[in-house]
Amino acid sequence: MSVLKLENVSKSFKRFKAVDYMSFSLDEGKIYGFIGPNGAGKSTTINMIAGLLKATSGTITILNEDVSNKNIRKYLGFSSEFPVFYNDMGCLDFLIYMGTLCGMSYKEAYKEALYLIDRLALSSFENKKVSSFSTGMKKKVGLAAAIIHHPKLILLDEPTANLDPDSRLEIIEIIKELASDNKTILISSHVLSELETFIDNVLIIQNGKLVLDASMEEVQRTSDNATLIINSKDQRLRAFLDHKAYIYTLNDGVYRVKVDNDAKSSIKKYIVENDIDFKELYDENMSLNDLYESITKGERHETDHS
Amino acid sequence: MKQIIARNFRSFWKISNLIFMGFGIGFVVALSLHLYGKDTIFSFEETVGRYNVDYLTMCAYVFIFGIANISLIIKTADTFTNEIKSGTVKLLFIKPLSRKEILLAKVLGNFLGSLSNLLFCLLMASSLYIAIGNLDIDVAINIYTINIAIFLGGVIEILTILALMSMLAIFIKNNVLFTILMIFILFIGAGVIPVAENIASNTYYDLHLYCFDLSSQLFTLIKTFAEPLNTVIGTYSGTFSTFMMTTYSLNDPDFIIGNSFGSAFKDQIGPLIIMTVYLAITVFSMLASILRYDNMDIS
């Protein structure tokens, strides 16, 4: 079931087109990584989904209802990159206020706020003013405020930025728990090595356009730039790689060959046919960072040529 | 929506605001004690005859102008300008509430908060008057009822100013500029002084006639409600002319207050027209605020 659907959504700020005819949809219970260079249009897109910005054209629907419908926003949770709080409110009061604004009763909101405060290890700060919190703690409270009302769609902008390693793991655990509870999560982040460990799908945006929308499995299956790792002392293999002019590095008998799928097949075929002795032979999956670089740099080269 | 109303209402009863009110009340007490024993201050017979009730004027000036309006400027700036600037308005815009509801809830919260401040201050003023001044029951009844009249006059005034302030806060988005502009507008519209005087004096005339006639108490209450409307509106209409006339009659303030355009105009058809104009200003301000708020991009 599609929880969020964007159809030909554009957003212009005067003459600048921040988002250009973007279309994608998010399925229930999955974690989506939303990545792209600075200024690509990620935050603009997230803000449009959250209802903070109005799309210049196109439609955004959450659970088949237009995002402008106020009632649909009770199914939406949002935590911005730099969460903001009321200076006069303590952590517990703030979370209760956020919960009751989403239609929860005071009792429900109170109970849920206490649970989240405990879950995020903020118990000793529950009555302290959020404005006095560290950046990392503010992030946690921002996340708690986004999920207190059990939304079906959660938008998280850089949820782990400026957090210490323990807090990062804590937040990632919570995100995974939310997904297992059938919530759909869209995460914008620049920490790709971290993101690839828990996202199901990736959306890459460049110059306001969506350039990739795929599952992580799909990405790894179809990627033709993976690295082939061969651990072999056989000199015939080196001669073959040199002869074919493949790019590789050799370190203590371990070859890391960066080739496309066809070349990979050709190397494997050569090893089998010539009975090359090897200890290990496997494909090293493409990292999200490699994929991101190949797409965004490719785009940049195309732009340069044009 | 009720949570936003409650939050805005509560902001008027914070320690900072209570201290602010405390200063106002302290000022009135100090001035009352200073003036105690001077006939013109606490003698109604004399003061009404001169179309001037000093104590009430003073209270109205301190509480309506000094506290209710200044609090409103601070709170309106906080509710609209600061929230947009700091980004906390995002917290509300992503909730299942329309922007219209958010705006109206904030305005209503501020309105009720301000009125509660005003009511509290005027009750204090009445009590102080009775405690320090004349304990005669006749005067006690009068003073409370007159303050109800001042309160109702304040309701109209606060509503109009609040609508105007909300619109300016949303459009200007700059705290300093907004505050300077609002104080300037309030000073120009310093009709609160003649408003208070007119309310107090005119209501007193009716109360004086009917005070111990129980059957006419209800009528008095209705009059109390109706009279401030006329007076406030009439005096508002006179505010601009008063301001203009000030330049010509600086040496004769009684002329400005007592015989202003508003005072003469309020018995004519003028109040209806002026009421419509002021209602239109309030409605226009609110509609403009809603439109702007509704189409505002926050990022």
Residues A243 and A216 in one domain: no
Residues A114 and A235 in one domain: no
* Higher pLDDT among residues B200 and A81, named by residue: A81
Residue B135 covered by a domain:
yes
* Higher pLDDT among residues B29 and A56, named by residue: A56
Interface of B with A in 69-98 (CB under 8 A): 86-88, 90-98
Does the distance separating the beta carbons of A73 and B96 come in below 8 Å?
A: yes
Residues A161 and A245 in one domain: no
Is residue B32 very low, low, confident or very high in pLDDT (cuts 50, 70, 90)? Answer: low
- Residue pointed to by tokens 């309310």: B199
Q: Does A100 touch chain B (CB under 8 A)?
A: yes
Does the distance separating the beta carbons of A86 and B88 come in below 8 Å?
A: yes
Interface of A with B in 34-63 (CB under 8 A): 43-44, 47, 50-54
CA distance A150 to A104: 10
Q: What pLDDT does residue B230 have? A: 46
Mean pLDDT is highest, among A196-210, B198-212, B268-282, for A196-210
Residues A216 and A229 in one domain: no
Q: Does B297 touch chain A (CB under 8 A)?
A: yes
Residues A199 and A246 in one domain: no
A227-231, strands of its sheet edge to edge: A248-251, A254-258, A227-231, A280-284
Residues A215 and A230 in one domain: no
Which member of A72, A84, A100 has the closest CB to residue B3? A100
Number of domains, chain B: 1
Is residue A94 very low, low, confident or very high in pLDDT (cuts 50, 70, 90)? Answer: very high
* Higher pLDDT among residues B218 and B104, named by residue: B104
Q: What pLDDT does residue A99 have? A: 92
Does the distance separating the beta carbons of A52 and B297 come in below 8 Å?
A: yes
Task: Note whether A159 and A187 are within 8 A (CB).
Answer: yes
Residues A155 and A195 in one domain: yes
Residue B299 covered by a domain:
no
Residues A137 and A73 in one domain: yes
Residue A303 covered by a domain:
no
Give tens-digit pLDDT for B60-110. Answer: 566 665 676 777 777 887 788 888 888 888 889 889 988 889 989 988 898
Mean pLDDT is highest, among A163-177, A254-268, B59-73, B90-104, for B90-104
Residue of chain B minimizing CA distance to A72: B96
Residues A169 and A252 in one domain: no
Chain B interface disruption, residue of A16, A70, A148, A152, most B CBs within 10 A: A70
Q: What is the H or E stretch that residue A33 is in?
A: strand A31-35
Does the distance separating the beta carbons of A54 and B96 come in below 8 Å?
A: no
Give tens-digit pLDDT for B60-74. Answer: 566 665 676 777 777
Residue B176 covered by a domain:
yes
Chain A interface disruption, residue of B13, B94, B104, B295, most A CBs within 10 A: B94
Residue A124, both tokens? 């000793």
Residues of chain B contacting residue A98, judged by C-beta atoms under 8 Å apart: 91, 95
**Is it the case that residue A177 has pLDDT exceeding 80?**
yes
Domain boundaries, position B115:
2-294
CA distance B97 to B135: 52
Residues of chain A contacting residue B7, judged by C-beta atoms under 8 Å apart: 97
Give tens-digit pLDDT for A216-226. Answer: 777 766 655 56
- Residue pointed to by tokens 């659907």: A5
CA distance B33 to A302: 84
* Higher pLDDT among residues B72 and A56, named by residue: A56
- Identify the bridge partners of residue A16 per DSSP, sorted by sequence position: A13
Q: What pLDDT does residue B131 have? A: 61
Task: Note whether A133 and A141 are within 8 A (CB).
Answer: yes
Q: Does A98 touch chain B (CB under 8 A)?
A: yes
Residues of chain A contacting residue B90, judged by C-beta atoms under 8 Å apart: 50, 52, 80, 84
CA distance B98 to A51: 10
Residues 6+ apart with CB under 8 A from A24: A5, A6, A203, A210, A213
Residue of chain A minimizing CA distance to B93: A52
Task: Note whether A7 and A194 are within 8 A (CB).
Answer: no
Give tens-digit pLDDT for B159-210. Answer: 777 888 888 888 887 777 877 777 766 665 544 444 444 444 444 333 333 3
Q: What pLDDT does residue A43 have? A: 87
Q: Does A233 touch chain B (CB under 8 A)?
A: no
Residue A265's domain is classified under what CATH number? 3.30.70.790
Residues 6+ apart with CB under 8 A from A14: none
Residue A208, both tokens? 């306001």
Residue A299 covered by a domain:
no
Residue B23 covered by a domain:
yes
* DSSP code string of B161-179: HHHHHHHHHHHH--HHHHH
Cα dist from B245 to A82, B50, B239, B264, B278, whole Å? 54, 21, 10, 14, 21
Residues A230 and A216 in one domain: no
Q: What pLDDT does residue B34 have? A: 62
Q: What pLDDT does residue B275 have? A: 57
Q: Does B14 touch chain A (CB under 8 A)?
A: yes
User: Is the Cα dihedral B47, B52, B58, B59 positive or negative?
Assistant: positive
CA distance A142 to B117: 34
Residue B110 covered by a domain:
yes
Is residue B211 very low, low, confident or very high in pLDDT (cuts 50, 70, 90)? Answer: very low
Residue A179's domain is classified under what CATH number? 3.40.50.300
Number of domains, chain A: 2
Domain boundaries, position A128:
2-220
Is residue B55 very low, low, confident or very high in pLDDT (cuts 50, 70, 90)? Answer: low
Q: What is the ipTM of this complex?
A: 0.76
Residues 6+ apart with CB under 8 A from B105: B1, B2, B4, B5, B8, B97
Does the distance separating the beta carbons of A71 and B97 come in below 8 Å?
A: no
CA distance A187 to A79: 10
Which range, of A17-21, A54-58, A94-98, B68-72, averages the lowest pLDDT?
A: B68-72
Residues A207 and A250 in one domain: no
Residue A109 covered by a domain:
yes
Residue A289 covered by a domain:
no
Residue A304 covered by a domain:
no
Residues A118 and A173 in one domain: yes
Total Cβ atoms within 10 A of residue B274: 21
Residue B268 covered by a domain:
yes
**Is it the case that residue B20 has pLDDT exceeding 80?**
no
User: Is the Cα dihedral A208, A209, A214, A219 positive or negative?
Assistant: negative
Residues of chain B contacting residue A89, judged by C-beta atoms under 8 Å apart: none
**Is it the case that residue B4 has pLDDT exceeding 70?**
yes
